[in-house]
């Protein structure tokens, strides 16, 4: 556009042609601005894309600030994503989704590539409990990469180029406001809203979200009474209800991968201190989902059945009484391993009884549980007797499960990708270096 002459108006009065040219250029500029506002993508900081397992197979999802959903390209074919959740109170964003067939070779959203569904998994990254804890007197320094290293953990984990990421639950931890006198969490959002979900999960986890397909396990922080709105809108594996309501109990589902066969269960309400009969009945049915499936089968659910935590008084804790009651008669014989979080540490356990091995990987960023023994061979936890048990306390990071020759090699890494502990999973037994 020709620069506007700065000479005062009275020296150069418009003739009729000048006036129409001015109006034409002004109208054209206005149309360009309107078109740009309509066609421009959502701001980069509020646009996220990922591929996740759902109850209906693999599904690509996207967060956008636009009213319309972006276009996905699957094996060269363009498909418009459909809204999963429209903007609502506290969530000024649209969540979009499109189903992706398992055999797809390429996938992108708005031109940004995503890893397609894995034809085979040889390297699985597992972690959980990633959010920054703000609840009452429990105040984590969310503004420090050292005190809350989820972004570092996710960035380093992405460098491993896993075939699959399994998050074992608890994404949202900022439940109450940061006190004005505390600098470590100053400016942090809180509550079940988009600002908090973005700060706790989507923004720091962005690199890993793009790096591999995800399996997202529901944690007890994502129950309806806590962060159920964000979970239901963005991450739940279920199709959305017409009224958008949060589902208290989500049914178990099978992830579309082979060897191991992976099932995801919702164990968020399982009461730890005592047996709740109604919960145990529901969980008993969930735990039986693989009864006709030959092994190896892995289960992923947030609360472990047996884990170990030593209180300050030296008391051994860790059994989830409701889950233990539900599993009392044994899990299906094909179940080789259980992947969980909830306890903020890394643990690997196998048992003298014929039980699946238990891995606890709640090390993604939430304030750690310090009282975890390094070796607890021979310990009794509830009705379970630990044959081999190893723990890593007070160290953020992630675990990599790599396929070996008749085994899985499980390595616990810190947030800087330094290996801390290596175990071999053979059948239902572990052998740790």
CA 226 – CA 175 distance, rounded (Å):
8
Instruction: For residue 351, give the nearest of 321, 370, 327 by alpha carbon.
Output: 327
Instruction: Locate 191 and state its tokens.
Output: 């509550």
- pTM, to two decimals: 0.89
Candidates 94, 51, 377; CA nearest to 214 is 51
> Do residues 229 and 191 lie in contact, with contact meaning Cβ atoms separated by under 8 Å?
no
Token pair 């500029």 in the structure block, residue: 29
What residue ranges do the domains of the chain occupy?
A: 9-39, 43-112, 118-432
Residues in the chain, overall count: 433
Other Cβ atoms closer than 10 A to 31: 10
In order along its 433 residues, the chain shows pLDDT tens digits of: 333 333 332 333 334 443 443 334 344 333 333 333 333 333 444 799 999 999 999 999 999 999 899 999 999 999 999 999 999 999 999 999 999 999 999 999 999 999 999 999 999 999 999 999 999 999 999 999 999 999 999 999 999 999 999 999 999 999 999 999 999 999 999 999 999 999 999 999 999 999 999 999 999 999 999 999 999 999 999 999 888 899 999 999 999 998 999 999 999 999 999 999 999 999 999 999 999 999 899 999 999 999 998 766 666 679 999 999 999 999 999 999 999 999 999 999 999 999 999 999 999 999 999 889 999 999 999 999 999 999 999 999 999 999 999 999 999 999 999 999 999 999 999 999 8
Question: Is domain 118-432 in CATH 3.40.1350.10, yes or no?
Answer: no
Rg (CA), the chain: 25
> Which residues, other chains included, contact 64 with Cβ-Cβ below 8 Å and sequence gap of 6+?
41, 42, 46, 47, 70, 93, 94, 96
Given a contact cutoff of 8 angstroms between Cβ atoms, the answer to whether 344 and 362 are in contact is: yes
CA atoms within 13 A on the CB side of 58: 23
Look at the block and give the residue holding tokens 């000024």.
Answer: 92
Are 273 and 321 in contact, with CB atoms under 8 Å apart?
yes
| d(C-alpha 164, C-alpha 203), whole Å | 20
- Taken in order 125, 126, 131, 133, the sign of the CA dihedral is negative
Give first-to-last CA distance, the chain, whole Å. Answer: 71
Judge whether 267 and 283 are in contact, CB under 8 Å. yes
Quick check: 420 and 414 in contact, CB under 8 A?
A: yes
Give just the sign of the alpha carbon dihedral 50, 51, 54, 56.
positive
């Amino acid at each position: 556009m020709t620069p506007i002459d700065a000479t005062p108006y009275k020296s150069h009065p418009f003739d009729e042609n000048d006036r129409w040219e001015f109006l034409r250029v002004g109208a054209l500029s206005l149309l360009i601005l309107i078109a740009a506002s309509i066609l421009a993508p959502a701001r980069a900081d509020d646009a996220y894309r990922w591929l996740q397992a759902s109850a209906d197979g693999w599904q690509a999802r996207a967060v956008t600030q636009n009213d319309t959903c972006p276009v996905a390209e699957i094996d060269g074919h363009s498909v418009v994503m459909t809204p999963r959740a429209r903007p609502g109170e506290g969530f000024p964003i649209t969540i979009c989704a499109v189903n992706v067939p398992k055999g797809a070779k390429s996938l992108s959203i708005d031109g940004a590539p995503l890893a397609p569904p894995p034809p085979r998994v040889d390297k699985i990254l597992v972690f959980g409990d990633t959010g920054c804890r703000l609840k009452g007197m429990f105040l984590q320094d969310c503004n420090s990469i050292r005190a809350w290293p989820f972004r570092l953990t996710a960035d380093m984990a992405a460098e491993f180029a896993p075939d699959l990421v399994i998050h074992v639950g608890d994404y949202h931890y900022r439940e109450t406001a940061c006190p004005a006198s505390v600098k470590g969490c100053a400016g942090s959002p809180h509550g079940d809203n988009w600002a908090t979900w973005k700060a706790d999960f989507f923004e720091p986890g962005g690199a890993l979200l793009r790096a591999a397909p995800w399996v997202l396990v529901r944690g007890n922080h994502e129950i309806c009474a806590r962060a159920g709105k964000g979970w239901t809108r963005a991450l739940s594996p279920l199709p959305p209800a017409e009224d958008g309501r949060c589902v208290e109990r989500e049914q178990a589902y099978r992830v579309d991968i082979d060897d191991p066969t992976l099932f995801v269960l919702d164990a968020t309400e399982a009461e730890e201190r005592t047996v709740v009969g109604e919960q145990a009945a529901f969980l008993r049915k969930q735990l039986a989902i693989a009864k006709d499936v030959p092994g190896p089968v892995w289960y992923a659910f947030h609360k472990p059945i047996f884990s170990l935590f030593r209180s300050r008084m030296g008391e051994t804790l860790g059994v989830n009484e409701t889950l233990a009651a539900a599993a009392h008669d044994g899990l299906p014989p094909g179940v080789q391993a259980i992947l969980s979080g909830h306890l903020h540490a890394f643990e690997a356990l196998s048992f003298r009884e014929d039980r699946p091995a238990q891995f606890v990987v709640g090390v993604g960023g939430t304030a750690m549980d310090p009282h975890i023994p390094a070796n607890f061979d021979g310990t009794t936890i509830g009705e379970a007797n630990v044959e081999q048990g190893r723990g890593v306390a007070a160290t953020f990071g992630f675990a990599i499960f790599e396929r070996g020759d008749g085994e899985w090699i499980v390595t616990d890494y810190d947030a800087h990708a330094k290996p801390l502990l290596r175990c071999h999973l053979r059948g239902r037994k572990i052998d740790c270096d």
